[in-house]
């Protein structure tokens, strides 16, 4: 039996603790809006991770969306455009736009830099900013009914929360342009074939597989996971000889 206890109150998210798996769950808690993201949502996720990074009981963290059973489930359907003011949408206000993007980039960067294993548990839509949130996680577990994509082109904008830069590092420039030029939705099977989804599971087995994988990481050697994550993440940004030095120092740890 999975025992879950709530840790702290937030407005846009909730944190739960799965005691028999040594992991925490951060749920985007806006199911009436398909877990659409505001700056406050990203800020609270970052703050929650700052809390969990010093909690020895949370040896792994799952990031997911809260379900509204009257609608199709969603990890996150992307940015909450209804929350934007006129100045947010005024393309002439370049200074405001630049500062807003800088702030959002910082939130995504903070999430990506979380030192413990971070699982994206995708059951439903992962679109736009929601897909970008997936890309800053370490492992992606997705149900077969899930859908991924960057529909921003349909609104005359693009995936600017790091999407153009992170996706290209996963699937290359041609597939990245394909996704972003046309704005189509892609199945979880396609994302599995392209290497973004690590575990593709039947809808009715999603929760069981998620708990199994999160519990495994929650009980794995913490220092080894930390070093593996840092070596792999930093290794994508440096020449091979520098990456090998990361391994040497990491092994000494």
- Answer for the pair 135, 179: CB distance below 8 angstroms, yes or no: no
Q: List the structure tokens of 72.
A: 């199709």
Q: Is 152 a catalytic residue?
A: yes
CA nearest neighbour of 225 among 190, 195, 201, 250: 250
pLDDT value for 151: 95
pLDDT-above-90 percentage for the chain: 77
pLDDT at 142 over 60: yes
- Domain spans of the chain, in order of start: 4-219, 221-253
Q: List the structure tokens of 150.
A: 């960057």
Catalytic residue among 152, 207, 212, 247: 152
- Give the position of tokens 């934007």: 84
Catalytic residue among 50, 132, 212, 247: 132
* CA–CA dist 14, 30 (Å, integer): 10
Q: Is 207 a catalytic residue?
A: no
pLDDT tens for 82-109 read 765 544 545 557 667 777 788 889 999 9
Which DSSP symbol is given to 160?
Answer: T
pLDDT tens for 144-185 read 999 999 999 999 999 989 999 999 999 999 999 999 999 999
Mean pLDDT of 242-248: 89
Superfamily of domain 4-219: 2-enoyl-CoA Hydratase; Chain A, domain 1 (3.90.226.10)
CA nearest neighbour of 77 among 33, 25, 41: 33
* CA–CA dist 94, 99 (Å, integer): 9
Q: List the structure tokens of 98.
A: 């630049």
* CA–CA dist 55, 38 (Å, integer): 26
Burial of 160 (0-12, 13-18, 19+ CB in 10 A): middle
pLDDT at 46 over 50: yes
pLDDT at 4 over 50: no
* CA–CA dist 135, 146 (Å, integer): 15
Identify the band that residue 202 occupies on the pLDDT scale cut at 50, 70 and 90: very high
pLDDT at 253 over 80: no
pLDDT at 2 over 60: no
* CA–CA dist 57, 24 (Å, integer): 8
CA nearest neighbour of 44 among 29, 62, 24: 29
């Amino acid at each position: 039996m999975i025992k879950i206890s709530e840790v702290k109150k937030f407005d846009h998210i909730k944190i739960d603790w799965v005691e028999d798996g040594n992991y925490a769950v951060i749920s985007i808690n806006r199911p009436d809006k398909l877990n659409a993201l505001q700056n406050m949502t990203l800020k609270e996720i970052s703050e929650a991770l700052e809390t969990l990074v010093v909690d020895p009981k949370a040896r792994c963290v799952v990031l997911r969306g809260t379900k509204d059973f009257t609608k199709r489930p969603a990890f996150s359907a992307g940015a909450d455009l209804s929350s934007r003011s006129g100045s947010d949408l005024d393309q002439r206000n370049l200074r405001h736009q630049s500062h807003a993007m800088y702030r959002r980039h910082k939130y995504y960067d903070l999430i990506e830099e979380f030192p413990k294993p971070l699982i994206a548990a995708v059951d439903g839509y992962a679109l736009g900013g929601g897909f970008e949130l997936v890309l800053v996680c370490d492992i992606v577990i997705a149900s077969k009914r899930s859908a991924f994509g960057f529909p921003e082109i349909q609104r005359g904008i693009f995936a600017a929360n790091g999407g153009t830069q992170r996706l290209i590092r996963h699937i290359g420039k041609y597939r990245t342009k394909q996704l972003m030029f046309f704005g189509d939705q892609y199945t979880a099977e396609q994302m599995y074939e392209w290497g973004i989804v690590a575990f593709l599971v039947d809808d009715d087995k999603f929760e069981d597989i998620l708990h199994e994988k999160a519990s495994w990481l929650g009980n794995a050697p913490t220092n080894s996971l930390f070093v593996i994550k840092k070596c792999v993440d930093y290794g994508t940004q440096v020449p091979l000889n520098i990456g090998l030095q990361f391994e040497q120092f990491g092994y000494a740890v």
